[in-house]
């Protein structure tokens, strides 16, 4: 496919970038990886880059609402519209219904884009569809599209999530004790809205390598939630020296709290030199935080990852940690085998399990359209095997933290319940007191316990789940 730079330069560069990224995403790319590359290649920065980002992410995220609108306006199913033209129409719809672009500018700029990237013939179709779309408000279209649907299907269209995900999130809100039967519809709506809002950029100051004050000094504000966190209101985190040097990094505050919780859990038996294991470490965000926390407690970390490529990423993430002389080992292996290879060894073990990522939909605009309900049982089997192996690697008295960035009960409490149901040597501890905010107070709204469930609409974090288990002596 031609890059935007190869094409005639009649249309707005930011919109062309958005279209190009949407095409690449249709072909299997990830928007969060592709967009920065294309913005850089096109030399687009500042407000134009922010516009391109909002347009790209919104058009991809909201296609569950925009495609049915486009179908009505075009008088044909979306799969009968050429994919490159459909992407142009989605971008037009997002300018009309999701951004504060005046309708005439949204239409004329999108037709200009169509002329450039889809050809003169397609521009006529795009013009006609956008004119029809702009005859009604978003709410009017939504009312028409959801009339007569059951509540889950209606929410799926209104908030542009696949219905199976809406159902799973509703079940998770109830199961975690976050919502009651009375409040669940409001909670669900707030959660779905939070999934569609751009998340702020959270940074971690890796203890001993960087301070929150240093990040505040370059424009970030102190995190309310994470004692090692900061929030960047705008700008490119890559421009921050501490981030470039891997002394700090972009990391969700929920992930920070998970690592802090496991490191902070009490371990009777006093002053032994602990050995910690991160069983699924790639790309190394939690491993880097754990390694610095371990160093403060005179402990050492072994970071394990199954994929060779991701093991390399762990090494890159740990660059500043290793440069500082902090003792951390990095290895590549299947976490399911470690329980047999190194039984009864580690004091603290983190299983940050591969999961559907349904808790991080804000960050990955295409993820909701790629995942299927069929992924869940496959992942749950892997998660059970990894947790079982993690328990085997823990020494008697040792701790195991099980985390996912999905709140789906089949990946969270059901995994823990099933594994614990088969073993008499592990108990579940209340993890909630370990989640402490910057002021030292227990984080609110963590659920009914003993496990912890964080939420984008309540905490501003990804929907991280965390269970703390202790192996009996």
Ligand X SMILES: C[S@@+](CC[C@H](N)C(=O)[O-])C[C@H]1O[C@@H](n2cnc3c(N)ncnc32)[C@H](O)[C@@H]1O
Binding site for ligand X (CB under 6 A): 255, 279-286, 305-307, 310, 334-336, 352, 354
The answer to whether the annotation marks 199 as part of a ligand binding site is: no
Cβ proximity of 206 and 247 under 8 Å: yes
The Cα–Cα gap between 351 and 278 comes to 6
Reduced DSSP (H G I as helix, E B as strand, rest coil) percent helix, strand, coil of the chain, to 5: 50, 15, 35
The answer to whether the annotation marks 112 as part of a ligand binding site is: no
Q: Supply the minimum distance, in Å, between the C-beta of residue 251 and ligand X.
A: 8
Q: Supply the minimum distance, in Å, between the C-beta of residue 43 and ligand X.
A: 31
Identity of the residue, 42 or 305, whose beta carbon is nearer to ligand X in the bound complex: 305
Q: Supply the minimum distance, in Å, between the C-beta of residue 255 and ligand X.
A: 6
Per the residue annotation, which of 22, 210, 355, 405 is the catalytic one? 405
Token pair in block for residue 205 = 């100051």
Q: What are phi and psi of 382, to 5 degrees?
A: -60, -40
Identity of the residue, 68 or 354, whose beta carbon is nearer to ligand X in the bound complex: 354
Identity of the residue, 141 or 435, whose beta carbon is nearer to ligand X in the bound complex: 435
The Cα–Cα gap between 246 and 262 comes to 22
Identity of the residue, 106 or 303, whose beta carbon is nearer to ligand X in the bound complex: 303
Which three-class secondary structure state does DSSP give residue 451? Answer: coil
Identity of the residue, 103 or 313, whose beta carbon is nearer to ligand X in the bound complex: 313
The answer to whether the annotation marks 284 as part of a ligand binding site is: yes
The answer to whether the annotation marks 40 as part of a ligand binding site is: no
Q: Which residues lie closer than 8 Å to 43 by C-beta, 6 or more apart?
A: none
Cβ proximity of 230 and 190 under 8 Å: no
Pick from 327, 319, 331: nearest CA to 279: 331
The answer to whether the annotation marks 280 as part of a ligand binding site is: yes
Q: Which residues lie closer than 8 Å to 435 by C-beta, 6 or more apart?
A: 257, 261, 442, 443, 446, 452, 466
Q: Supply the minimum distance, in Å, between the C-beta of residue 290 and ligand X.
A: 9
The answer to whether the annotation marks 343 as part of a ligand binding site is: no
The Cα–Cα gap between 226 and 206 comes to 12
The Cα–Cα gap between 321 and 333 comes to 21
**Residue located via tokens 């269970």:** 467
Q: How many CB atoms lie within 10 A of CB 148?
A: 7
The Cα–Cα gap between 212 and 319 comes to 19
The Cα–Cα gap between 14 and 25 comes to 17
Q: Supply the minimum distance, in Å, between the C-beta of residue 312 and ligand X.
A: 11
**Catalytic residue list contains 22:** no
Q: Binding-site residues for S-adenosyl-L-methionine, please? A: 280-286, 305, 334, 352
- The set of catalytic residues is 405
Binding residues: 280-286, 305, 334, 352
């Amino acid at each position: 496919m031609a890059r935007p730079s190869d094409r005639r330069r009649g249309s707005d560069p930011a919109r062309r970038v958005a279209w190009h990224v949407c095409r690449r995403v249709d072909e299997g790319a990830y928007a969060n990886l592709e967009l920065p590359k294309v913005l850089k290649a096109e030399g687009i920065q500042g407000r134009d880059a922010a516009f391109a980002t909002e347009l790209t992410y919104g058009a991809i995220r909201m296609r569950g609402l925009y495609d049915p609108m486009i179908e009505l306006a075009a008088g044909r199913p979306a799969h009968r519209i050429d994919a490159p033209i459909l992407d142009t129409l989605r971008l037009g719809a997002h300018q009309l219904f999701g951004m504060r672009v005046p309708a005439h500018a949204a239409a004329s700029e999108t037709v200009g884009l169509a002329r450039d990237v889809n050809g003169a013939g397609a521009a006529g179709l795009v013009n006609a569809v956008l004119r029809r779309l702009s005859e009604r408000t978003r709410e009017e279209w939504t009312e028409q599209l959801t009339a007569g649907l059951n509540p889950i299907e209606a929410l799926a269209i209104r908030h542009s999530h696949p219905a199976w995900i809406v159902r799973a999130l509703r079940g998770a809100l109830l199961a975690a004790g976050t919502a009651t039967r009375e409040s669940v519809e409001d909670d669900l709506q707030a959660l779905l809205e939070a999934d569609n809002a751009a998340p702020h950029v959270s940074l971690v100051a890796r203890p001993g390598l960087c301070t929150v004050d240093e990040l505040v000094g370059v424009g970030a504000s102190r995190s309310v939630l994470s004692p090692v966190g900061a929030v960047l209101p705008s700008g490119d985190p890559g421009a921050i020296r501490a981030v470039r040097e891997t002394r700090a990094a972009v990391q969700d505050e929920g992930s920070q709290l998970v690592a802090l919780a496991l490191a902070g859990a009490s371990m009777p038996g006093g002053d032994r030199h602990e050995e910690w294991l991160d069983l699924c470490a790639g790309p190394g965000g939690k491993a880097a935080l754990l390694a610095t926390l371990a160093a403060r407690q005179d402990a050492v970390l072994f970071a394990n990852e199954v994929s060779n490529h991701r093991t390399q990423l762990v090494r890159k993430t740990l660059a500043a940690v290793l440069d500082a002389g902090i003792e951390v080992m990095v290895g590549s292996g299947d976490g399911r085998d470690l329980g047999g290879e190194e039984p009864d060894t580690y004091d603290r073990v983190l299983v940050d399990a591969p999961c559907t990522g349904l808790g991080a939909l804000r960050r990955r605009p295409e993820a909701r359209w790629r995942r299927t309900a069929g992924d869940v049982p496959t992942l749950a089997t892997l998660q059970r095997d990894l947790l079982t192996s993690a328990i085997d690697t823990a020494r008697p008295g040792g701790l195991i933290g099980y985390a996912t960035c999905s709140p789906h009960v089949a990946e969270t409490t059901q995994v823990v319940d099933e594994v614990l149901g088969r073993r008499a040597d592990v108990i579940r501890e209340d993890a909630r007191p370990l989640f402490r905010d910057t002021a030292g107070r227990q984080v609110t709204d963590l659920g009914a316990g003993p496990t912890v469930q964080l939420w984008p609409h309540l905490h501003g974090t990804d929907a991280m789940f965390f269970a703390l288990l202790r192996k009996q002596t």
